[in-house]
Amino acid sequence: MTDAISDLPKGKPATGGHASLLSESPLMKKRNAAEARFKLYGVVAITVGLAFLIFLTVSILRNGIPAFTQTVVNVEFTLSQEEFDEAESKMLKTAAYTEIFVNNITAQFQERGLDVEFDAGTIERLLGKVGGDLRSFYRENPDQIGQPVGFELSTASRVERYLQGKLTRDMVVDGRFLEAADLDVVDAMVDAGIIGTAWDWNFITGTDTGVDNPGGAGIGASVIGSFFMMLVVLLLSLPIGVAASIYLEEFAPKNRFTDLIEVNISNLAAVPSIVFGILGLAVFIQFAHLPQSAPLVGGLVLTLMTLPTIVISTRASLKSVPPSIRDAALGVGASKMQSVFHHVLPLAMPGILTGTIIGLAQALGETAPLLLIGMVGYVAREYPDSLTSGLLDPNSAMPAQIYTWAARSDEAFFEKAWGGIIILLIFLLTMNIIAIILRRRFERRW
Amino acid sequence: MSFMKLTATTAVVALTATTSFARDNVQVAGSSTVLPYASIVAEAFGDNFDFPAPVVESGGSSAGLKRFCEGVGENTIDIANASRAIRDSEIEVCASNGVTDIIEVRIGYDGIVFASQTDGPAFTAFEPSDIFNALAPMVMVDGALVENPHTMWSDFNADLPDAEILAFIPGTKHGTREVFEEKVIAAGCEATGAYDAMIAGGMSEDDAEDACLAVRTDGRSVDIDGDYTETLARIDANTNGIGVFGLAFYENNTDKLKVATMSGIEPTTETIAAGVYPVSRPLYFYIKAAHIGVIPGLQEYADFFISDEVAGPSGPLAAYGLVSDPELAQTQEVVMKNMTMN
C-alpha cells in the first residue's frame, strides 16, 4: 500500500464530515503532487533520451557526410605509348604511372603560369594516390593511349581538410605529407577553378585501400561481405530456429529436460558475442578447416548468436496464437502436425519474421566475433566474382570495416568510419522498418 | 515445407564449402605497427600483379606469431608481422607444431616517440632516466631506493614543466612495449642507479632486471591495449598527458601532437636511420617456408615487399614513415634464396 493511505488518521473515515468535494484535502494534494512529480520524471527521462539521440544523430551526420564527397582536381593528361610501355616494364608500375603523371601535370601548370613556386614534389603531395587508378584505366582502355583524356582525380586528404576549413595554415607543420607552401598552390588551383567537390561514388562502391590512400577507400566490398554473412545467417538460423521452437512449443513433452533446454536457450541469448567468436575460431577454422576471414565462417558464428533470439521470438509468437485455433483444427479431424503447419504457423509467421529481422539486424552490427575469425584488418580489398567466392574468399563486414578505419592514423579514414556508420545505420533502419511494416500489416490480435 | 528446401540448400552450400578449397591469396597477421606498411604493400601488390591482394590482419605481434606457429597448411597464416624479433620460446612452439622452416625478413626501422598535446606543457627534453623516474614504482631519491613519491615532472628534473605525471604507454601485448621497456625504462633504471641499488639490496641480477621493468600502478601510468588512435584520444582529453607513438603515426598527426626529444635528439627518419635516436626498433615479418610454392603469390609478395622500389628510401613505405634499412640488399638475398633461420 502507498504511503499516502497509511498517513490517514486511524478510525476516521476518509470522507469525513468537513471534507468538501470542491476543496482539496491535504491528502488529495499530496497524491496529486506525487502524480505530477512522477509525470515530470517521465518527461525528464524522455527528454534526456531524446537529447542523446539528437546528439548522436547530429554528430554522426556532421562527421560522416563529408565522407560521401571528395575534393577533385580536373586535369587533362595524355599518356604516350612509350610511356605506357615504360611504366608497364617496371616492377612498381603504379609508381611509374604516378611519376609520369606528376611530371606531366607539373609541366602543364608551369605553362599555365600559376604565379607561385612549386615543383613535382608539391604536386605529388597534393594529389592522392593516382597510380592505381591510371593503370587500371589505361589497361582497360588501351585505345585511349596517345589521346588527351580528362581525369577527375581525388586530392590528398590534407588538401581536402584545408578546403573544408578543418586544417588551417598555422596548424601545418612542414613534413613529408604537406608543407605550408603547398597551400599556395592549392589556392592558385582554386582560383583557376580546376579544383572542386564531387560526389564520391567510390566510397559506396569501392574496396578498402592501404593506409596511405584514404581517398580511394570505399565500403562496397564489405557491404557485400555483410550481405553474404546475412545470407548464411538467414538460411541457417530461420529453419533451425523455427523448427526448434515449433518442436519445443507444440510437440515436446513438458518435463525437466525440456525445462533445462529452455533455460539454456535464454542463457545463450545473453552470452557475450565474443564468446561465439572464440567458439567459431576453435570449431570452424581450427577443427573443421574452413577458410579464415571467410564470410561463410562469419555467417556461421553469427548464426549461433542469432539462433536464441529467433527461438525466443518464435516461441513467443507461437504462444500468442490462441489455443482455440488448435482445438478447432484438432476438432475437425486435423492431425497435430496439420493443425500446426496449416493454422498455427501461418498465424505466427509475422511475429517470427519480425523476430528474425531484428535478430539479423543485431547480427549485422556485430564486430566482436569477427575480430577472432580474421575479418578485421586489410581484408575487404576486392569484390567476389561468384557465389562460392562470395562465401569463401576473405572479406570483411561493415562494422569490422568501420572499426578498421577508425584505428588508422590518417584523419581522413576517421571521416570514412563515420560515413560507414551512416551506411550501416541506413541498412539497420531499413531492416527495422521492414519488420514494423510486416508486423503492422499481418499481425492479428486476439 | 519451404524451410525444408532451405535447409537442403544450406546443407549443399556447407558441403561444397568443406569438401575442398584452394586458397589463392596470401594471409598475413600480426603487429599493428607493421599493419599500415603491410596494407600499403598489399594494395600495391594487388594493383601491380595479377595475384589477388593479400589479406592483412592486425592483433599484435604475439598474437600473430601464435597463429603463425599453429601449424602448416592452408588454414594457417603464411606470414606473421612483428615489431620485435621472434622469441626462442616461440620458435620452439613453432617447431613442435611442425613449423620448422621460418624465414626472417627485416623490413626497416621504426622510431618510438613521446608526444603530447600541441597546446599542453612543453615536454621538450627527455632522458630515459626522466621516464623511469616518472613511471617506475621504486625510484632513487637522495641515494635510497624508495617508493615513487613523484607526482610532478618538475619533482625530479627542474628543467621539466610543473605538470602532473600522466603517461599512456603501450600495453603488454604490443611489441612496442618491449622496446619501450628495454630502451627507455631499463636504460633509465641503470642510469639513475636504481639497478645497482636493487643488486646491493640483495636481489639477483635477473630479479633486478625484472623489477626495473615494472611500472607504477597508481594510475599515473596507463597501459593502452588498443591502437595509437586510442592513445591519441587520451592525449586529446588530457592536457598533461604524454603518450608513446610510432614515428609514422606522429608524422600523420603533427597538427595535434608535438614531439619530445630523447637524450637531446629529435626523432626523424634521418636520426633513426643513422642510429642516433635511441628509441628505435627493427620491424620484421616471418615467412613460413613450407608455404612457398604452395600459396600462389607468397614468394612474389615477399620479394615485392622488400624490393628497393617499395622498401627503399624513396619508396612508398619510406614516404609513410618507415625508416628504410641500410642493409636491405642482404634481406633481399635472404628472401630470394629462401634462407631460413639457423
The verdict on a CB contact (< 8 Å) between B309 and A90 is: yes
Pick from B23, B226, B319: CB nearest A176:
B319
Collect all residues of chain B within an 8 Å Cβ-Cβ radius of residue A177: 251-252
Q: Which residue has the higher pLDDT, A5 or B327?
A: B327
- A435 and A327 share one domain: yes
Give domain status of residue A389, yes or no. Answer: yes
pLDDT tens digit string along B126-183? 888 888 888 888 888 887 888 888 888 888 888 888 888 899 998 887 778 888 888 8
Nearest CA of chain B to the CA of A24: how many Å?
Answer: 55
Per-residue pLDDT band for B19 (boundaries 50, 70, 90) equals very low
The verdict on a CB contact (< 8 Å) between B74 and A243 is: no
ipTM greater than cut 0.85: no
Collect all residues of chain A within an 8 Å Cβ-Cβ radius of residue B16: 388
Locus of grid cell 496439420: A338
- A253 and A181 share one domain: no
CB burial of residue A403 (10 Å; 0-12, 13-18, 19+): buried
The verdict on a CB contact (< 8 Å) between B43 and A95 is: no
Q: Name the least confident of A121-135, B25-39, B43-57, B189-203.
A: A121-135
Give domain status of residue A112, yes or no. Answer: yes
Residue B65 has a pLDDT of 92
Residue B9 has a pLDDT of 55
Residue A242 has a pLDDT of 94
Strand arrangement of the beta sheet that strand A69-78 belongs to: A148-154, A69-78, A195-199
- A38 and A73 share one domain: no
pLDDT tens digit string along B225-238? 878 888 898 998 88
Q: Which of A216, A241, A269 is the last residue of a domain?
A: A216
- A258 and A339 share one domain: yes
Residue B11 pLDDT exceeds 80: no
Domain residue limits at A162: 68-216
**Average pLDDT of chain B?**
85
Collect all residues of chain B within an 8 Å Cβ-Cβ radius of residue A289: 18, 73-75
Residue B16 pLDDT exceeds 80: no
Residue B8 has a pLDDT of 53
Collect all residues of chain A within an 8 Å Cβ-Cβ radius of residue B12: none
The enclosing domain of A345 has a CATH number of 1.10.3720.10
Number of domains in chain A: 3
- A183 and A296 share one domain: no
- A75 and A154 share one domain: yes
Residue A2 has a pLDDT of 47
Pick from A239, A374, A410: CB nearest B7:
A239
- Give residue A350's identity as a one-letter amino acid code: P
Residue B18 pLDDT exceeds 50: no
Give the DSSP H or E segment for A231: helix A220-246
Which residues, 6 or more positions from A231, have their beta carbon under 8 angstroms from its beta carbon?
A299
User: CATH 3.40.190.10 occupies which residues in chain B?
Assistant: 23-110+281-336, 111-280
- A276 and A412 share one domain: yes
- A44 and A88 share one domain: no
What CATH number belongs to B111-280?
3.40.190.10
Per-residue pLDDT band for B302 (boundaries 50, 70, 90) equals very high
In A, residues 240-279, which contact B (CB 8 Å cutoff)?
240, 242-243
Q: Which of A65, A90, A123 is the last residue of a domain?
A: A65
The verdict on a CB contact (< 8 Å) between A243 and B3 is: yes
- A112 and A211 share one domain: yes
Collect all residues of chain B within an 8 Å Cβ-Cβ radius of residue A371: 59
Residue A398 has a pLDDT of 94
Q: Which of A216, A247, A271 is the last residue of a domain?
A: A216
- Give residue B71's identity as a one-letter amino acid code: G
User: Contact A380/A222 with Cβ under 8 angstroms?
Assistant: yes
Percent pLDDT > 90 in chain B is 23
Residue B4 pLDDT exceeds 70: no
Beta-strand relationship, B257-259 and B102-117: antiparallel
Give domain status of residue A3, yes or no. Answer: no
Report yes or no: A169 at the B interface, CB cutoff 8 Å.
no
Per-residue pLDDT band for B1 (boundaries 50, 70, 90) equals very low
Return the C-alpha cell found at A270: 545473453
- Beta bridge pairs of residue A74: A152
What CATH number belongs to B23-110+281-336?
3.40.190.10
In A, residues 293-332, which contact B (CB 8 Å cutoff)?
293, 296
- For residue A74, the SS3 value is strand
- A296 and A415 share one domain: yes
Nearest Cα neighbor of A176 from B230, B227, B250 is B250
Collect all residues of chain B within an 8 Å Cβ-Cβ radius of residue A386: none
Selected residue of A88, A92, A136, A166 to mutate for chain B interface (largest B Cβ count, 10 A):
A92
The verdict on a CB contact (< 8 Å) between B56 and A93 is: no
- A257 and A150 share one domain: no
Pick from A95, A240, A296: CB nearest B17:
A296
Residue A19 has a pLDDT of 62
Which residues, 6 or more positions from B149, have their beta carbon under 8 angstroms from its beta carbon?
B139, B141, B155
The verdict on a CB contact (< 8 Å) between A210 and B41 is: yes
- For residue B34, the SS3 value is coil
Grouped pLDDT means (10 residues each) for chain A, 446 residues = 49 55 85 95 97 95 90 86 85 84 82 71 80 85 85 85 82 76 82 85 90 88 94 95 93 92 91 91 87 91 94 93 93 94 92 91 91 87 87 91 88 90 94 89 75
Return the C-alpha cell found at B91: 620458435
- A305 and A390 share one domain: yes
User: Helices (H), strands (E): how many in chain B?
Assistant: 16, 14
Nearest CA of chain B to the CA of A46: how many Å?
Answer: 29
Q: How many Å from the N-terminal Cα to the C-terminal Cα in chain A?
A: 33
Residue B5 has a pLDDT of 55
The verdict on a CB contact (< 8 Å) between B251 and A95 is: no
- Rank A21-30, A293-302, B242-251, B308-317 by mean pLDDT and report only the highest: A293-302
